[in-house]
A and B are shown apart, each in its own frame.
Chain A
Amino acid sequence: MAGRPMWENPLRAPVAYGRLAVPQLFAELQSPEPEKKLRALASLQDLLHDPERLYPTVTKGYVEKMKLLLEDEDPSVRSKTCEVLGLLCTHSLGRQVLLSSPLLSSLFWLLDDPSSPCRKNVLRVLKLLTLHPSGADALLTLVPKLLLKLQQQQQQEEGEQISVEEEKKVEVNEEEKVDEENQQEQREGLKMEQTEEVKDVKEEEEEEELLVLSLISCCSRRDALPALSSDAVSVLKPRLTHPCTHIRREATAAMMALSVPMAGKHRLCEEAMLPLLVGLLRDEDVHVRTNTVGVIMYTVITTAGKLQCLKLNVVSALLDLLTEAPPFKKAPRLMEEKERWTRKALVLYSLRALTSLAEAPEGRRLLMEQLPLLRRSCEEEEDAEVIRAAHAAIEVVTWTP
């Protein structure tokens, strides 16, 4: 409408002053037109960054009114509502209110939404909820459903892969037949566009997968049994060798959370995951390696795990990891501190894994030969925890019955 004043933004609803802002925006949310709702939601999003505005909104029970919006027909309204809920979750009071409200069931239902941005926003909201342990507890019931989604996605991907391979074969045949260069260029151009489109879709799916995996790992850290009972190990297996680094990271983190209880360890040994994991020890990404060593660390506590790992020659791989990390010094800046801790984690986990392996006679024999290495690393280190871990390892290696 051409007569609108200049300061009015077509994307944002006008905000009233002071205490009336949020109630008035909520009143505007009741209108049936989706554009008005989107505008009001956008203004709400801007407002709720401020904790002073957020607390009265949350305590006066306006949150329940958003339930209707979550079941709206328009997908952009739904996804915007989820973004606003995400803002709510950045504060602990908002998280608590959300957990105790009936919105949670609507959010669960929205996970199967046909529109992809809506699903991603829901997953982000759920991820923020898991920041607090009570949130993670509440989401434990969701874990089987998430695993099912992953499985479905996996099957879909397999189906797509097969069809893509077939397409490639057909394209190759076509290229052989055509002689003119122009036509070939055209086709390549089309292919490029198609692959770009496919790539975009793939990227979105990967992001979703990433969020789902991180949710599963967060919840499994609280209690891994629901995930294990839903056969998480076999679902995560193909993700360990995924080309994308982030997905591998998250999958290995989830695996580490799963391997904490005894049942998880047994499952891992049964499903023959250890060869895969030992292969991942030589991965490029530090975090993937750290998580893998963590999984191994937990798995070799069981006797079966020990035997399998010794057969796979894990000891040498772990010793390599130990020696490649330089000795640690206190780092002044935050980023370096983070890096230092990641490397430190790697070293610590490897030492623990070696300690567990040393309890088996075969492992003890191997490590007796490497004893000077361990002693040297113990003396050179400045870091207290690493020294302690190395001492423990040496003790176990030199123990006699």
Chain B
Amino acid sequence: MASYSHRDRSGIYSFSSRPRAVEDRSRTLPPEKSRPMYGNIMFDRRVVRGNTYSQHFRPSTAQPDPAEIRREQVSKQRTSARRRAREQLLQPTTPEPVQGRKHMDVQTELYLEELSHVVVTADMECQSDAFLDRPPTPLFIPAKSGKDVETQIEEGELFDFDVEVQPLLEVLVGKTMEQSMLEVMEEEELASLRAQQKAFKVLRNMEQAEVQRLQEQERRRREERERRIMQQREALRKEKETVEKIAARAYTQQSLVDLLPTVFNSLRTHGYFYDPVERDIETNFIPWLMEEVHKNLEKRETARKLLDAIIHDVAQKRLEAFKEPEKNSH
């Protein structure tokens, strides 16, 4: 919908809105996007009919201004009032009936007459002829002048198809072949890449297996070696132990050789080996003997003590006896 100035294609017209057929939307439902229905313009209610120079029109867009409405109303009232006044002046009318009565028309003549004044009329029409279509203009055929010349292109004169088509065909076929060869080459390249990949994978698997095998071998050998070293160490240790044991045994043997006689000697000296009779004598007889001897000696002792005591007493008494005179003499 060109709402801007638009020049028609042939350059004759220019319009601000391009003419288009009016769609009839009032009857059918609008949103259908089917073929737009165009109504017959003759039966469209929106189209104005008859002469337009005496019709009142309302500007459809403008909101009726209240002042304008007022003005219109006033003017209408004035015109109606004027009309009424004019009628009153021109025609004297009978006064209004008194209350309770009604006016009626009555004929007061002798003879009845029709009260109508019918004017004899006759309708006459006049119509101009309908417009006839303008007859088509006759073809303008200018008078013949000059010479008649004709020409005709025979077959084979413009071009020779078989010859001309050769380069075209060559190009077409060549391009197709080239394209297909490229594709085939691509595929071959991909296939050879894949084959290479496979070969590489095979070799890689092999080498991996070899590497793993050698690793395993290494591991086994290392473990074997470790085990042997451990074994060897164990053996060495055992040997050392046995050597030490032997040395210790020899030494102890040597030191113990003298042990036995010394032990016996010391035991003997300590009196652990005894003659039972001797022991018996020692344990029983000798103490008894000693007791007896002791007793005897005690007796002598007591006797001697007694004697000593007596002597002492005697001596004491004598001393006292000597001393008394001395004291008495002094």
Contacts and interface: CB of A to CB of B under 8 A. Distances in A.
A337 B193 CA distance: 12
A3 to B, nearest CB: 11
Contact of B206 (A301, A303, A334, A348): A348
B206 A355 contact: no
Contacts of A344: 202
B221 to A, nearest CB: 9
A239 interface: no
Given A301-B216, A334-B195, A337-B195, 17 more contacts: A297-B209, A298-B209, A298-B212, A301-B212, A334-B188, A338-B195, A338-B198, A344-B202, A348-B203, A349-B205, A352-B206, A353-B209, A355-B210, A355-B213, A356-B213, A356-B216, A389-B206
A385 B216 contact: no
Contact of B209 (A337, A341, A356, A359): A356
Contacts of B216: 301-302, 356
Q: What interface size band does chain A fall in?
A: 20 to 34
Interface string B96-126: 0000000000000000000000000000000
A341 B198 contact: yes
Interface in B181-213: 188, 191-192, 195, 198-199, 202-203, 205-206, 208-210, 212-213
Nearest to A352: B209
B217 interface: yes
B204 to A, nearest CB: 10
Given A302-B216, A359-B217, A341 B195 contact: yes
A260 B195 contact: no
Interface of A: 256, 260, 294, 297-298, 301-303, 334, 337-338, 341, 344-345, 348-349, 352-353, 355-356, 359, 385, 389, 392
A300 to B, nearest CB: 8
Contacts of B209: 294, 297-298, 301, 349, 352-353, 356
A385 B205 contact: no
Contacts of B217: 359
Contacts of B199: 341
Contacts of A359: 213, 217, 220
A222 to B, nearest CB: 13
Nearest to A389: B206
12 contacts: A298-B209, A302-B216, A344-B202, A345-B202, A349-B205, A349-B206, A352-B209, A355-B213, A356-B209, A356-B213, A385-B203, A389-B206
A383 to B, nearest CB: 12
A334 B202 contact: no
Contacts of B213: 301, 352, 355-356, 359
A258 to B, nearest CB: 13
Nearest to B216: A301
Shortest beta-carbon contacts, A-B, top 6:
A345-B202, A352-B209, A301-B216, A297-B209, A356-B213, A301-B212
Nearest to A392: B210
Interface string B215-259: 011001000000000000000000000000000000000000000
A259 to B, nearest CB: 10
B205 A256 contact: yes
B216 to A, nearest CB: 5
Contacts of A356: 209, 213, 216
A355 B220 CA distance: 15
Contacts of B191: 334
A352 B210 contact: yes
Contacts of A353: 209
Nearest to A344: B202
Contacts of A297: 205, 209
Interface string B30-43: 00000000000000
Nearest to B210: A352
Contacts of B206: 348-349, 352, 385, 389
A353 B202 CA distance: 14
B213 to A, nearest CB: 5
Nearest to A298: B209
Given A301-B213, A302-B216, A260 B208 contact: yes
A334 B205 contact: no
A348 B202 contact: yes
A349 B192 CA distance: 22
Nearest to A349: B206
B187 to A, nearest CB: 10
Interface centre among B195, B208, B213, B220 (most CB of A within 10 A): B213
Contacts of A303: 220
B212 A341 contact: no
A107 B205 CA distance: 32
Contacts of B212: 260, 298, 301
B227 to A, nearest CB: 14
Interface string B160-192: 000000000000000000000000000010011
A349 B208 CA distance: 11
